[in-house]
Amino acid sequence: MEGGTNGSQVVVSTYNLRKYFPVRGGLFSSHIADVKAVDGVTFDIREGETVGLVGESGCGKTTVGRLMLRLIEPSSGHTYYRPPADVVQKLETDYARLRDMPLEGDNGTPESSPEATAALRELDELATSHSLYRKSHKEMLALRSKLQIVFQDPFSSLSPRMLVRDILAEPLEVHHIGNRRERYQRVAELIQQVGLNPDHVWRFPHEFSGGQRQRLAIARALALRPEFIVLDEPTSALDVSVQAQILNILKQLQGEFHLAYLFISHHLSVVRAISDRVVVMYLGKVAEKADTHDLFVRPLHPYTQALLSAIPIPDPTLHRERIVLSGDVPSPVAPPPGCRFHTRCPAVMPVCSKVEPPLLEVRPRHWVACHLYPQGIDRASEAAPTLAAGSPPMLAGAGS
């Protein structure tokens, strides 16, 4: 839980989310291993805010998005939708307290202090009462109207057999909102909100281009007046000119309806254009999270620095050093011990392969999980001047 400085309310928050997919094989398809797709992810999203979730393919971005909507069940951890203030308070203190204790392994239960055990139990009780994953089917159905998603591929996320009008009216129908006439009025309203022509409701999805289809998918997500939308790579299948249209529409709708977005993407320039805060994931874990400007101007984690330096910049006059990461992302079935990035890290130290770095707030509102910053940024800049000096050369002057 990040300490909120601005007054706006938290819409969705996840706490220590984990998802292990079992790998079955061998004799009688026994359970032989786990794909640790998501391994302890914590962040929250406030009203009218966009949080960007970035990382390479296979790092668990999409899984986090699905978990947050309860499209799949987590292995452990919680997601809260509009958590009451006292719960937030409680979780924050508990989290702070637990963070100071040595967290061990997956259960994270230091038996040493009874206080900690009590705190954990309290946390569990809170979780049972508020977590999205403990809601009944009926409660969930009511909640789903507030939590929506736009999928990556607009060519497969719209039914080819339905008229656009029926596609957009279906969510209203499922939730028994209005009579037929009112629903179709709402559809006409929606289709104009995403910048399409009201006549388009009489068409089928195949008659639209990729960008128009993505608009339809956004209109469908908006139908129930949600408060939180997961955007799962909404522009990666589109051309730049169309991508700009979609991003502008998303921004405009956010201003109009005060929506909270989780913007999942591997395209960092897009994330910079739309997000307020960014969470960088690597192999199921959060490597760094910070405000967008802060992250892009002063990335701290070596992985973030490498990612940023790899983005091509549409300016042929600009020349900069690139940090080229060698090799591929390791398999999430057997992630490397210690820091998961140490196999590719340009600033690797002996400790990295042994101890897993905790996610620490090394600067105000800037969390990093890296051994380069053991006590916060001031000490770190002395310890490792080359990397902690901040940004790769290309971004040093660019952000200002």
Interface residues with other proteins (CB under 8 A) are 56-58, 209-212, 239-245, 247-248, 266-270, 272-273, 292-293, 296, 306-319, 322, 324-328, 394-395, 398-399
Residue 15 β-bridge partners? 78
Rounded Cα gap, residues 112 and 83, in angstroms: 30
Taking the complex as a whole, the smallest distance from the CB of residue 151 to other proteins amounts, in Å, to 18
State the amino acid at position 15 in one-letter form.
Y
Q: Judged by CB, which is closer to other proteins: 29, or 57?
A: 57
Q: Judged by CB, which is closer to other proteins: 58, or 374?
A: 58
Taking the complex as a whole, the smallest distance from the CB of residue 344 to other proteins amounts, in Å, to 9
Joined together, the tokens standing for residue 57 give: 């393919």
Taking the complex as a whole, the smallest distance from the CB of residue 192 to other proteins amounts, in Å, to 16
Q: Judged by CB, which is closer to other proteins: 317, or 386?
A: 317
Q: Judged by CB, which is closer to other proteins: 223, or 325?
A: 325
Taking the complex as a whole, the smallest distance from the CB of residue 342 to other proteins amounts, in Å, to 16
Q: Is the CB of residue 238 less than 8 Å from the CB of residue 246?
A: yes
Q: Judged by CB, which is closer to other proteins: 4, or 330?
A: 330
Taking the complex as a whole, the smallest distance from the CB of residue 318 to other proteins amounts, in Å, to 8
Q: Judged by CB, which is closer to other proteins: 19, or 61?
A: 61
Q: Judged by CB, which is closer to other proteins: 213, or 366?
A: 213
Taking the complex as a whole, the smallest distance from the CB of residue 322 to other proteins amounts, in Å, to 6
Taking the complex as a whole, the smallest distance from the CB of residue 57 to other proteins amounts, in Å, to 6
